[in-house]
Structure 1
Amino acid sequence: MAEKYAEQADTAAEFPVTVLEELRSSGLLGLLVPAEYGGLGGTLDDLLDVGIALGRVDLSAAMIFAMHCQQVACVIDHAAAPLAQELLPEAAAGRMYLASVTTEASKGGHLLTASARLEADTDASGQLRVDRFAPIVTGGAYADGFLISMQAPGARSPGEVSLVFARRSQLDITASGDWDPLGMRASHSVALRLTGRVPDHQVLGEHGAFRAVALRTLGPLAHLTWAACWLGAAAGALSRVVQMLRDSAKSKDSATKSELLLARLSRARQRLDTVHALLRHTADVYTAASTGDGDVSLPRNQLLINALKITASEECLRAVEDLIDAVGLRHGYLKNSPTRLERTLRDLRSAPLNYSNDRLHQADGVLALLDQGVRFA
């Protein structure tokens, strides 16, 4: 389904509504939801497998799905019982597609601070006032609900951030600007202003405790699922190139006789195997650290999770660049090539920018100073 509509959605920069409907009806929006709430009870490995599979045919659709699942994981891990019991059955039934609202014009994509503040009504109604502008909200125009980061009521610093859920029906939503990017065109990540009131029980975790949500769940799941989607996109590109080359292998002037081409294919495959190994290792470490007496926030764990994001975003892009060099102008650069390398390159160019690698390296420098013994996860 995603492959069928990918070209149209990319050309028009339109949200893949048909794919979202398939995700709803198939139950995949509830992949991570425990069976007790009607979900599929899927594991992290299941989520990564679906991300890779979707990424092979449409990276925008894969990222839309992955970001929704990140939000569902936050509800599972951090929502109090009343909110979890309200939301998780809806996600399992395909009625709750969740969008993430963490960007702000004043801070870019910096995750752990906020400028806009939640205001508590003074009439003892238990309501919180939301007034939030975000320059980028992936799929926000089509979401059923939002997880929104804002300064906690009475916050004394930008780092005292709360994560609050809001239904579409609880908000007035205004979209602004056009969405006409180089790649990831079907993600429809437009700017939104969200205003409205929500009850206080729709805060996930404690007020001001978003940092714990981000370090334990949102950040690691983002980097793991994004890496899976990027890996899928690059693996799909390599698969299409190999298929094209095998189809032409019987020709006497077949490109498969070129030693340079074979070396470039080898390099691309090496990059993808490296990312895949790092992805699976990081998933195992995260699963162990997020259960029992583990601690995801340990510097060695955070360094590994950040290294996965940085490595996957760079190596998957470089693998596609290797493939373009390998097959040349006709099959590597033209839009109508069956390899679809041109679209994959445009989409993957966003990967190092999607929570900037430069920002992660700065954070990792601090974390490296905290781990004098250089202990590996």
Structure 2
Amino acid sequence: MTVAPNTASVARKPSIRRQVFGRLGPRPGLQLVILAGVVAILIVLGSNIATTMARIGVTPGFAFLKSAANFEIGEGMIAFHAGDSYARAIAVGLLNTAKIALLGCCLATILGVALGVMRLSSNLVLSGLVRWYVEVVRNTPLLLQLFFWIALAQALPPPRRAITLLDAVFLTNRGVYVPGIVVRDVSPGAMLILIGIVGVWIRLVWRGLRNKRTGLQAPLPVSLMSMFVFGAILAASDTRIGFEVPAVSGFNIRGGFSLTPEFAALLVGLTVKFSAIIAEIVRAGILSVRQEQWDAARALGLHNGKIMRLVVLPQALRVITPLATSSYLDLIKDSSLAVAIGYPDLMNIVNTTANTTGQAFEALLIVVLLYLALNLAVSALMSVYNTRVALRGEKSAS
């Protein structure tokens, strides 16, 4: 005896209309009306902007990027002179912002981790000082701090009466001079190739150091080849690289690596501000690790330094990394306050471009897209790192 299938119980594939409206959630009609209203508002705003620009004689578009800029830029990673294009000027500002963001994130992380660990010290004086530092810095506006640091930098003595540290570091009202590797007469193409080679070499050496079985044997041939190519590029491009220590020469200081007062003030301000924020993040991450992990590590005979490095931090990073990512993104965005102290970052140069060309809307769109690209790149890199530390933390906990 055969039983006929119950067709009512057979699931039917929903129609395309039901699938589309199902993804929209409840009240799809209302959502579509709101979306249409937003699009209509954007169209009206765009039409009004185009009409206003036409009335004042400004042609919309990005053709102005090829025009010659009639201003100078005080400092930059690539050469710029009045008469170069606006596109090159914006590139200088973008590189300046990327430089201050990279250095600020690194220094704020190093100082923040140290302060976060000291905040948990059993020494009441040390933990108390760090607590007051964190509270004062976190509850003070960054703009006010930048004004303080730039005023302090400008109050330093002239080069001939510079404040000297170990006869190698000079603090003056013209900037901070430190020993460093100085690169001269390098073309942008050669610089990109050199950075790529150094990055690959560092990556391979790091992987070799982490591999206990092979050590440095695996990356050694590639390292030798990289150094050979490195030297060939230097010889072909007439690039000069050397280590210099600054010294007083006449009425100025020559040699070494110099930081302008504006750059130094911005870097110190961002580092101090976000190191306090990262310190609290690190403290919270360490406290999130259960006490049993400490007790088990001590039972194995590990001292506090190894416990922190091998047991606690790998697990705490699962809490620290997402919050630190938000701090890095805030640091990049807050670097735009450099316009208040005269550092030629992306916002400063784009603002000057808008004032000299009248293309305010296009300039605003450019700066939004560039800051968005920087933040998305940092967010993507930190997301990859967060995935790795999460897996490593799970292994440590188990």
Q: TM-score, normalised by structure 1?
A: 0.28
Q: Counting strand residues as a fraction of each chain, which structure ranks higher?
A: 1
The structure with more radius of gyration? 2
More helix, by proportion: 2
Structure 2 length-normalised TM: 0.27
Which structure is richer in relative contact order (CA contacts within 8 A, separation 6 or more)? 2
